[in-house]
Amino acid sequence: MLTIMTHWSRCSAAAVLGAGSVAFAAELHVPSQFTTIQGAIDAATDLDEIVVDDGVYPEAIDFSGKALVVRSVNGAEATTIDAFLLNAPVVTMINVPESAVLQGFTIRGGAGLRDRFSNIGGGLYFMNSSPIVLECIVRDNFVDGVGAGAFVSGGAPTFLYTTFLRNHAITNIGVASQAGGLYVFNADVLVSHCRFLGNTSHKGGGILALMSQITVSNCIFSGNGITPTAGGGAMHLSYSSGVVTNSTIVNNNATTGRSLSGESSELMCSNSIIWSPQLNQIAHSDSNFSFAYCNIRASGGSGATWNSSIGTDRGGNIDVDPEFLDADGADNIAGTADDMLELAPSSPCIDAGSNAQLDADQLDLDGDADMSEPNPFDVYGRPRQVDDPLTPDTGKGAAPIVDLGALESQSGVILADFNGDGFVNGDDLAQLLSQWGTAGAADLNTDGVVDGADLAALLANWS
């Protein structure tokens, strides 16, 4: 199930910045020492760490150009910065260096910074800044302009394990809105292990990049859309270069390029799933889009049947139903909490990627100091390159071969994980109980009947 924040193991700011490379000067606590986060920022100096307890903080904060770590104690589900009615971005960073970190907050209620005829940067407003945004939920921010979730101009920020949820950029008189989720201008941005769900704008529902370089790795784009008409339901590139690896881009909506669109841009996409029931997933002009080991709706797959209008075929592409567990969930609405984008055990996307196309672990997510190795985790922080012994390898490389998309199938690896979502929980328990007394698949000890011994094995693996 595509919950908003669960499944992700928490990272430390020091680990992401590089073990041993950062020595924090002092800890300032909110609210025990300072009643507001901004009060702590005002009192802090470079490399101080501001630690925020659970609660809702009705304020808009500005890092004031300082290299600070601002983090919550218990994560984004417990700690919110809410700028409702303040008519400002929730978090502002101007000329902030790369050692700055924002970790573990829900960012909501932002209306952006007024820029002539429109507002920009509802949730996050970054100007010439290169922070790490880690394990945040950027949700329910609104602008009548550009970058409802986040606005980035200059710098090289990193977004890691962050969700952009239901941010909306609406079109003002004479100003077409752009980027419901993330707007990038003249910057070099890394977006890794993030989710873009239900964001809308006139162009680039999830992401819009202008005159920029953007790398997207192990991300989910679902239910993002364009209102009223334009392109790039998930992402739009304009005079930009982009790399997309191991991402799931599904059930997004636009008039042209329901998933991806661009003009005068380059995009290299690999090991990804680009899919929805409708056609017209990809549209671009004066651009070079290329695809390798992707499952793309209406692409025709690699070879003689390839649809050259979407870009260059670099091999290994397929055009087959990905077989998600339930891509739009019980409510039949894409981009909501009940979506199940895990691959079914029979999915053609399992063991179908190219190991050579895996991105490097440049953020050292497993903390082993090897940043040249392949990225070790999927979007939920579960292991990559997990072999499914029941699925023939159709990808490229030595086994185990990576799956397509943002979610690696854990099927056959975790005992009692019947639906292959990487967790043993209530869903698996329900399957076991439905087979009680039979010789079903939930017969874990293969004694011919699903009974108390199998239930005990399931509970022993509960996660």
Cα torsion through 32, 37, 41, 43, rounded to 10? -30
Q: How many CA atoms does the CB half-sphere of 380 hold within 13 Å?
A: 20
Say whether 414-463 and 13-24+55-343 share the same fold: no
Kind and range of the H or E run holding 62 = strand 61-62
Q: Which pair of structure tokens corresponds to residue 11?
A: 């990272």
- pTM value > 0.85: yes
Task: With CA atoms as reference, report the closest residue to 217 among 333, 384, 352, 105.
Answer: 384
Beta carbons within 8 Å of 434's beta carbon, 6+ residues apart:
none
Residues 143, 120 contacting (CB under 8 angstroms): yes
Residues 165, 122 contacting (CB under 8 angstroms): no
Task: With CA atoms as reference, report the closest residue to 94 among 118, 134, 125.
Answer: 125
Question: What is the model's pLDDT at position 13?
Answer: 60
Residue-range domain boundaries for the chain? 13-24+55-343, 414-463
CATH superfamily of the 414-463 domain: Dockerin domain (1.10.1330.10)
| Sign of the dihedral through C-alpha 277, 280, 283, 289 | positive
First and final C-alpha spacing in the chain: 14
Q: Which pair of structure tokens corresponds to residue 112?
A: 């952006």
Question: What is the model's pLDDT at position 15?
Answer: 59
DSSP annotation of 312 reads E
Distance CA 322, CA 329 (A): 15
DSSP annotation of 8 reads P
Beta carbons within 8 Å of 165's beta carbon, 6+ residues apart:
4, 137, 138, 139, 140, 195, 197, 198, 199
Distance CA 138, CA 127 (A): 18
For the domain bounded by 13-24+55-343, which CATH number is listed?
A: 2.160.20
C-alpha 170: how far from its chain's center?
22
Our CA angle for 308, 230, 244, nearest 5°, is 50
Q: What is the DSSP string of 209-257?
A: EES-EEEEES-EEES-EESSS-B-SSEEEES-EEEEES-EEES-B-SB-
pLDDT along the chain (463 residues), means of 10: 39 56 80 98 98 98 98 97 96 97 98 85 98 98 95 98 96 77 98 97 95 98 83 94 98 92 97 92 96 97 97 98 94 92 95 97 92 94 90 95 96 71 85 86 75 87 83
Q: How many CA atoms does the CB half-sphere of 286 hold within 13 Å?
A: 5
